[in-house]
Amino acid sequence: MIKWQEVFSKDGLPWNDNAQLASPIDMSDLASLKRLLDAVHIRFCLVKPYQESKHYPLVESRELLPSFDNDMFEYKNLPGFALVAFARQLDYFSEIFQFDKLHPVLFQGNGACCPLENQVMLQNLQTLAARLPRMHQDVFRQQFRNIDTVVLESYPTLFPYLVNMDRAHVLAWGSDNNFHLAGIFASFPSDIDSELKRFGIRIGKFVNGDSDIYERNRMFVYQYLMELYGFPIVSERRTSSALFARKLHKMGERFLLRVLGQTDRTITTYLSNGENTRYPTLEKIALVSVSPDQEEVMQLIERDGFFLDRTNHVVILRVNYRQHGFNPGNVRQDRALSVLSQEVLHPLTGRALTGLNIIKDTTNMFLRLNDIVRGEYTGRIMYKRTELVENTDTHEKRLKFLFSWLTKHQRRMITYSDEFFSNVSKVVTSYLFSPENDEAFESLHTLHHEVCTRFSYIQQARRVRILEDLCHRTIKGQRVSYAVMLREVVQLLNELKFEIVNFFPTLVDAVITGVEKILRDRYLQRHYIETGEESLTRAGQEIRKNYRRLVALQDGFKAVRKARSTREGMSA
């Protein structure tokens, strides 16, 4: 197994476990600081625990794929931490969060330390020691009695103590505009209640003062907001870190915020350099095992020595994400996040191997699906965020695994190619509707119906997604004429109306919204509807005829929605 031997940075700065970095470090930009922090945190929080444990809980690649699963276990023996770094000097009274301040040692003009050097270093030492568990305090004071604890070259040696503190540490510029350790024991304010309500009102899911709408949509808004920042609804440490990053970005701060949970074993980083962007950049770093089925990827990783552990195919994987603004007119309106890029980091140099597809590999997804329906999949999932299910040795477990698999990949299956979805459909339907399984499914009727409904939703959503493309006059990315658009939409809705017996309100709403967008098209109305019949060509007459068919189909879908609303009102 390869040892982590040097700092992960462009320049390569070796350190010793029991000493400071070999030479002073001056860093004033967040990108350079991030390279240093990557090295320290990957080494101490991921690689070191992995090398020291025979049973380190590697992160499954699917756990890095949105939407994120709830945590299954808390690994209290693993490190966890949070930090924030500001590319500016701190104004202690004016900061919007609480922390214990540390002081950089001042220097005179000739480079010598000021006479108060020892007092400042001692004060920093006492501040740090006071926030450590009592068992570490004496050893800490002895180790750092003659060391300036706030300079960056001390950070790797100090870091194992920082992860023993309950709260976050703070990096910021000193008077020389270089980073130093500026504070510890920081509390990140989250203000989740007001932030959630403001966000829900802004995207149209809440109405001010309407408790019924709030109750119906609260979990959707909560999950969407958290996923924008890379988490499910989880622990206070990660929730407060995500919302603090949101607040800092809104304020235009230049910052880096990083958090590692003991449950997710994943280093999550938010970075904002003050650009005029909607969200801070988001990335995650974790140790994952590459599937042996991905032969080409395995060859690339092995060729240049990118495996941390060749025997078990373990790599250091960094995933970058893209955030999406809420779009109520999109069938995938719950999609807050998608994978932007994936990189494997070299365990010695930190060099990134790019252009890989480890966590979104469709072949791997399909093989896992086959294993689930055959009862050959060994692993564990969190069913409906509450029940831990291990292995697939019974039909009940297979159905729960299948429901979780469909839920996890729902957004992707809506947009994947017809060929891929056709293969998925064959596997799923051959299991769900096989006469051989009828007897087993009789006692699991509710669960079986639940899985069938989930799959039916995905099938219909794929059609609605095609409708959404047609609204922009595109088919598989190709621009089409109005005649082709209307002909395809009419055919699509004629097929869909027979499937609508499985009523999904969001899909019916999406259909009605899409059709209304077409019917309101001013070009269509001006040239084909408002003009006289005698002035239309044969092609124009066909367009008008399909437009009228579309109006009738629209009325049919509205009637379905109204009938459903009436039934729900009567039952209430």
Same domain for 488 and 460, yes or no, is no
Residue 96 lies in a domain: no
Residue 184 lies in a domain: no
The mean pLDDT value for 460-465 works out to 89
Same domain for 485 and 550, yes or no, is yes
Same domain for 521 and 541, yes or no, is yes
Residue 489 lies in a domain: yes
Same domain for 491 and 558, yes or no, is yes
Same domain for 486 and 546, yes or no, is yes
Same domain for 512 and 451, yes or no, is no
Domain count, the chain: 2
Q: Could you tell me the pTM of the whole model?
A: 0.83
Residue 399 lies in a domain: yes
Q: In what order do the strands lie in the sheet with 314-323?
A: 98-101, 179-187, 168-173, 81-89, 254-260, 267-273, 281-289, 314-323, 337-345, 352-353
The mean pLDDT value for 331-346 works out to 86
| Reported confidence tier of residue 238, pLDDT bands at 50, 70, 90 | confident
User: Rounded to whole angstroms, how far apart are CA atoms 218 and 239?
Assistant: 16
The mean pLDDT value for 151-156 works out to 90
- Last-in-domain residue among 408, 438, 471: 471
- For the stretch 93-119, pLDDT in tens is 999 999 999 998 865 444 555 556 788
Same domain for 407 and 502, yes or no, is no
pLDDT of residue 193: 92
The mean pLDDT value for 50-55 works out to 88
Per-residue pLDDT for 17 more than 50? no
Per-residue pLDDT for 21 more than 60? no
Burial class (CB in 10 A: 0-12, 13-18, 19+), 251: exposed
Same domain for 436 and 452, yes or no, is yes
Residue 181 lies in a domain: no
- Last-in-domain residue among 471, 506, 522: 471
- For the stretch 387-423, pLDDT in tens is 888 889 999 999 999 999 998 888 888 888 888 889 9
Residue 442 lies in a domain: yes
3-state secondary structure of 199: helix
More reliable by pLDDT, 502 or 152: 152
Per-residue pLDDT for 360 more than 80? no
Q: In this structure, are residues 372 and 381 in contact, taking their beta carbons and an 8 Å threshold? A: no
Same domain for 496 and 572, yes or no, is yes
pLDDT of residue 61: 85
Residue 451 lies in a domain: yes
Per-residue pLDDT for 444 more than 90? yes
Same domain for 512 and 459, yes or no, is no
3-state secondary structure of 526: helix
pLDDT of residue 261: 87
- Last-in-domain residue among 446, 471, 496: 471
Q: What is the mean pLDDT of the chain?
A: 86
Range of the domain at 403: 361-471
Same domain for 374 and 431, yes or no, is yes
Same domain for 377 and 454, yes or no, is yes
